[in-house]
């Protein structure tokens, strides 16, 4: 018997940005959302988070409707989610580990240990007390990733998590993040927005491809790349693996 869907998206749309998106994911999945710039990737992630409501359709999480047409039924703070933004959102008065646990001076020992382990998992062991202003762009992005991974969540949402990480560090970070998600993600779902098919190939169980606000493929990376969902998704993934990006009709708001 197949497992019931943990996340179910039914006919979701946002005027001018997303059109009739439907899929479901089982618990323990890591999903990559890929597509050209302007295809609606971040819009979809924001809908899953509850930062905005769809104009049509419904989103269910663990059997509960959390958003429906024009309404956010369950706000983000009640969805047990954690969200990594494209640009690191760090507290300037806190050091690296303080930005991970966000518990002030009276932090629980278990939470402190989890924060320290998360920093180690993203390659920042030994930098726990580094002030924010002394962090490089890539290090700041890793601190935000550590905060996301340390959270007690059931929905991990990451928007272009490697945007500020240089290529030399990227392969190591992909390995570290993939291992962490596999260890923590069994109790929920992780969704990663990326423009780079390499991220999808290395991190995700399933890949969702968007083109001009429409879902054109949803399945295993190797099946999409082999042409099971048509020529365009396969060519898009292939072009990304070669280091380029296919042009596509833009829609307002990615």
pLDDT tens digit string along 76-131?
999 999 898 888 889 999 999 999 988 666 778 888 898 999 999 888 999 999 99
**How many other C-beta atoms are found inside a 10 Å radius of the C-beta of residue 220?**
13
Burial, 28: exposed, middle or buried (Cβ in 10 Å; 0-12, 13-18, 19+)?
Answer: middle
Over 50: is that where the pLDDT of 67 sits? yes
Over 70: is that where the pLDDT of 48 sits? yes
Over 70: is that where the pLDDT of 2 sits? no
The pLDDT of 140-148, averaged and rounded, is: 89
pTM, two decimals, is 0.86
Query: Domains of the chain, with CATH numbers?
Result: 88-152+154-186 (3.40.50.300)
Asked whether 12 and 214 are in contact (CB, 8 A), the reply is no
Q: Which is nearest to 237 in space by CA: 225, 252, 251, 253?
A: 225
């Amino acid at each position: 018997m197949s497992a019931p869907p943990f996340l179910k998206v039914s006919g979701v749309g946002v005027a001018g940005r997303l059109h009739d998106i439907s899929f479901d994911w089982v618990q323990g999945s890591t999903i990559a959302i890929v597509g050209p710039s302007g295809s609606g990737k971040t819009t979809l992630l924001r809908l899953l988070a509850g930062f905005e409501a769809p104009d049509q359709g419904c989103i269910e999480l663990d059997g509960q409707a959390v958003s429906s047409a024009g309404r956010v039924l369950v706000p983000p703070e009640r969805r047990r989610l954690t969200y990594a933004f494209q640009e690191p959102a760090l507290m300037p008065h806190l050091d690296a580990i303080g930005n991970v646990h966000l518990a002030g001076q009276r932090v629980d020992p278990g939470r402190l240990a989890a924060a320290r382990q998360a920093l180690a998992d993203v390659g920042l062991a030994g930098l726990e007390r580094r002030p924010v202003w002394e962090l490089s762009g890539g290090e700041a992005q890793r601190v935000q990733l550590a905060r996301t991974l340390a959270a007690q969540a059931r929905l991990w949402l990451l928007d272009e998590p490697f945007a500020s990480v240089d290529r030399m560090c990227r392969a190591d970070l992909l390995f570290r993040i993939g291992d962490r998600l596999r260890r923590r993600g069994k109790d929920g779902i992780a969704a990663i927005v990326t423009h780079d098919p390499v991220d999808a190939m290395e991190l995700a169980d399933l890949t969702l491809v968007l083109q001009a606000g429409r879902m054109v493929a949803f399945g295993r990376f190797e099946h999409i790349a082999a042409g099971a969902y048509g020529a365009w998704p396969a060519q898009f993934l292939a072009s990304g693996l070669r280091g380029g990006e296919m042009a596509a009709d833009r829609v307002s708001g990615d």
